[in-house]
A and B are shown apart, each in its own frame.
Chain A
Amino acid sequence: MALQGAEQTILRDPALFYWILIPITIVMILTGILRHYATVLMNSPPKPPSTLAESRERYSIFRGVNLRSNGFVLPTESFEMRKSYLISAYENGAFLKDPENRGQPPANPMTDPAGMDAMMGMMKGNMMMMIPQTLIMSWINAFFSGFVICMPPVSLGTCRVLTAVVKLPFPLTIRFKSMLQSGVMTRDLDVRWVSSLSWYFLNLFGLQSVFGFILGSDNAANHMASQMSGMNPTAGMNPFQPGQDPDKLYLNEAENLEVMEHFCIYDGIEERILHNLASK
């Protein structure tokens, strides 16, 4: 057990700093850039609708959404007219690509060619994340974990093989141990020592702004962002995920419309604008 208050010192070669810390950082940055360009190259744009009916099925949902969010620009009678029209159309499936298929379970995305494309795109993106990460992690494990950097007192009886490469200049609580010293099997080591594997993780999550600086803000190396957008990749293009039933979305939207309360922005607008002018 390290003595309370006593400075824990590890005898280590200062060259470790140059030969582990910096290479890992550089490799991480280069992989990020490489991943960005690989993603850009492999990225296939979302497929545009191939028939007018398909396009109608995709975009008609936005009419309801727009009416719901921007309905205040309409006077009450126009609003009610549109609302009742959209609700009945949504409920009857008037906007569906093939109304006779209504109510049937959605096609299996594995067999549906259109769904297959989207799935492939998603998989490509995920692979682009996973493969380099796995490779680098195993590379770091294999390469940088065999450094004898300290010989503990003989009383322990064995040579400890550590990969602690850097010491943070500020104290931390014991909770950070699992974060900073993954791969180091020593309980007593001061939390401030960081192992190479942990340095890798810190880089992985901490280099976002560096990539933003090098590649621009909408880069593909920013894997957190791509994970977020992976949930909803082409929100503007196609509201439906592969395998999702548009009919369900329509029914849902009809329900939303039905419970919606309408207010009109023109109520008292004359007074409002006169008041605005007077107060100027």
Chain B
Amino acid sequence: MSNTKHEPIHSSDLLATLQYSQQAPILLGRQSNPKMAPLSLITSSSAQPEEYATMERLFFTCLQTGDDKSALICLDKLTQFFGPSNERIMGLHGLYEEAIAGDNSALEKCLQEYDDILQQNPVNLPILKRRIALLRSLSRPADAISSLIKFLEATPTDTEAWCELADLYRFQGMSSQAVFCLEEALLITPNAWNVHSCLAELLYVSASSKEQGDPSKLLRRSVRHYCRSIELCDDYVRGLYGLALVSPALFPLFSSRFWLIYLRNRLPIVKSRFMDFQGQKYSQSELIAAKELLDRFGKSN
């Protein structure tokens, strides 16, 4: 259990997710054991919150990897404990329904269900979020954006929602709005180096699209955010990679070789750490991309 504790809930690292979800039958089997011995129910009462957090994570990973059967078992156990009227359980249930929905009409039905629930309780936050995510997956981004704005008006301290809105705007090509959203997210969590780096990426992309005002100004901001991200976490591969990409565009004279050297020095450390922790902090794709960049620059120089 100890090594699964730090596993991210929504891991973008598919390998780790798959490995985790493959343990589902074992984990689920162990969870049902305490029921056999009534005494252990009393003694293990303090460990339960953690157990249910694991269960929720397991639910997410099972859905992600298509193991719907195990996911349903997890959901049932959670529902048994917290009751079907718990808001979070309602959200999880909705997620499950969406996941097993075969076609668009089934998804529309889910949407209808969410609307019914929201009629009864308009501040059911998990359901509100599910509804927005569903609108997005039904490829109705305009609706999703407007609902998300309404959601954020009510709960302006939700970092996750701000990041989601930034993402939605980014896909619509509205980069200045997306920048605004990420800035709001930064105001809530000022030391999140990944958000800094995201914002820098966004600024870099919008500078290269040349629609926005002054590209050099945007690039300068982008460099600064990358710098801040590295300042906060000095072996953040993604930030270093970005900095190595952006700095030649901004300072043609000041070559980005410096950052590349730095990146090259950092990479073995990061790689060894990656081996140790099985990709807890760094996903493999980022490492591969960084190596690729190093190779490319190594050839050109």
Interface residues of chain A, those whose CB is within 8 Å of chain B, are 48-56, 59-60, 62-63, 66-67, 70-75, 78, 265-266, 269-270, 272-273, 276-277
Contacts and interface: CB of A to CB of B under 8 A. Distances in A.
A269 B156 contact: no
Contact of A270 (B123, B186, B224): B224
18 contacts: A49-B123, A52-B154, A54-B123, A55-B154, A55-B155, A56-B153, A56-B154, A56-B156, A59-B156, A66-B157, A66-B187, A66-B188, A71-B187, A72-B190, A74-B187, A266-B225, A270-B227, A276-B231
B157 A55 contact: no
B123 A50 contact: yes
Given A70-B188, A73-B187, A75-B221, A63 B156 contact: yes
Interface of B: 121-123, 150, 153-157, 180, 183, 186-188, 190, 221, 223-225, 227-228, 230-231, 234, 262
Nearest to B251: A270
Contact of B156 (A49, A62, A73): A62
Which A-B residue pairs are the 3 nearest by beta carbons? A70-B190, A52-B154, A266-B224
Q: Per DSSP, are chain B's interface residues mostly helix, strand or loop, or mixed?
A: helix
A47 to B, nearest CB: 11
A165 B208 CA distance: 84
A98 B300 CA distance: 64
A46 to B, nearest CB: 14
Most chain A CB inside 10 Å of its own CB: which residue of B150, B155, B262: B155
Given A59-B154, A63-B156, A63-B157, A270 B187 contact: no
Nearest to A75: B221
B262 A277 contact: yes
Contacts of B190: 70, 72-73
A270 B254 CA distance: 13
A242 to B, nearest CB: 19
Given A75-B221, A270-B223, A59 B231 contact: no
B221 A70 contact: no
A157 B187 CA distance: 78
Contacts of A49: 123
Contacts of B228: 73, 265-266, 269
Contacts of A56: 153-156
Contacts of A52: 122-123, 150, 153-154
A235 to B, nearest CB: 13
A45 B286 CA distance: 43
Contacts of A75: 221
Contact of A269 (B121, B122, B224): B224
A265 B262 CA distance: 23
A9 B147 CA distance: 81
A78 B150 CA distance: 22
B26 to A, nearest CB: 30
B183 A273 contact: no
Contacts of A266: 221, 224-225, 227-228
A276 to B, nearest CB: 7
B157 A273 contact: no
Nearest to A52: B154
Contacts of A48: 123
A67 B123 contact: no
Contacts of B150: 52
Given A54-B123, A66-B188, 16 more contacts: A52-B153, A59-B156, A60-B156, A62-B156, A63-B157, A66-B187, A70-B187, A73-B186, A73-B190, A74-B187, A269-B224, A269-B228, A269-B231, A270-B224, A272-B227, A273-B231
B183 A78 contact: yes
Contacts of B123: 48-52, 54-55
Contacts of A53: 154
Contacts of B223: 270
A99 to B, nearest CB: 14
A85 to B, nearest CB: 11
A273 B156 CA distance: 32
Given A51-B122, A70-B188, A71-B187, A272 B231 contact: yes
A51 B118 CA distance: 11
A49 to B, nearest CB: 5
Contact of B183 (A50, A74, A277): A74
Contacts of A70: 186-188, 190
Nearest to B190: A70
Nearest to A74: B183
B121 to A, nearest CB: 8
A94 B151 CA distance: 16
Nearest to A270: B227
Contacts of A269: 224, 227-228, 231
